[in-house]
Amino acid sequence: MLPAYLPKPETGFGKTYVKTNGECKMQMNCDSALLARQSIVDAMRSFEEKGFNHGSSGNISVREGGHIWVTPTGATSTMDPQDMSLVSLEGEHLAGKIPSSEWRIHTEIMRAHPEAGAVVHSHADACVALSCLRKPLPPFHYMIASFGGSEVPCASYRVFGSDALAYEVVRAMGHHRACLMASHGMVVWGRDLAHARLLAEKLETLARQYILACQIGTPALLSDVELTEVRERYGFYGSQPMPR
């Protein structure tokens, strides 16, 4: 069943052919859908400018009820909002272009984490480099706690665009908000796209800093007790004075 917001002719935004009962019917998209699509385009362009993605690598999704808007397969930073693909959380392609080959990662993360509003998958250089070691990113810095655990796990390698890869990502991620993908890249989820973008940029920065630290020596790692203290302090951060 298509979401109610798709057929809304009065908005005047670009036409999309939507599959319903084996037929293609022309629909129009409402303002909320356009905003979601545009936010994905803006994020993809920003990541391209920052060197997080190259060419058609990487993909982004935003939740819309029981569906997601996700970048289409082969998408580059020159994409337009009307290029986005609408996919149900059950995996049905509802509208737009053919979805990213990694759409299953996005739907499965959204299903596993109902609080997730957006998912970012990137081939950012430092994360790719670390993913080739096929090891977690350890707690060398207190900001590792930002991702919900004592490390950023690494999902086992599976060929790109496969259901097996999506399974490994969700399994490795567990309660974390991010994971590396062996010999591939990284993926994060956030409560909305702004949050997911922030976490993706933070993870790439930490990966680069870890590589730098390893070039000097063996980084010291924070203990579970120290990380628990960090997480407690994150509960105050930005909302009230920090305990001294």
The set of catalytic residues is 102
User: What's the token pair of residue 85?
Assistant: 């693909």
Residues β-bridged to residue 70 = 61, 85
Instruction: Find the angle CA(199)-CA(167)-CA(97) to the nearest 5 degrees.
Output: 75
Unique residue bearing structure tokens 């982004």: 60
Q: Are the C-beta atoms of residues 121 and 185 closer than 8 Å to each other?
A: yes
Q: Are the C-beta atoms of residues 177 and 199 closer than 8 Å to each other?
A: yes
Q: How far apart are CA 157 and CA 224, in angstroms?
A: 28
Residue 104 in 3-state DSSP?
A: helix
Question: How many C-beta atoms surround the C-beta of residue 117 within 10 A?
Answer: 21
Q: How far apart are CA 232 and CA 192, in angstroms?
A: 22
Q: How far apart are CA 172 and CA 86, in angstroms?
A: 26
Q: In this structure, are strands 154-155 and 178-181 parallel, antiparallel, or unpaired?
A: parallel
- How far separated are the first and last CA of the chain, in Å rounded? 54
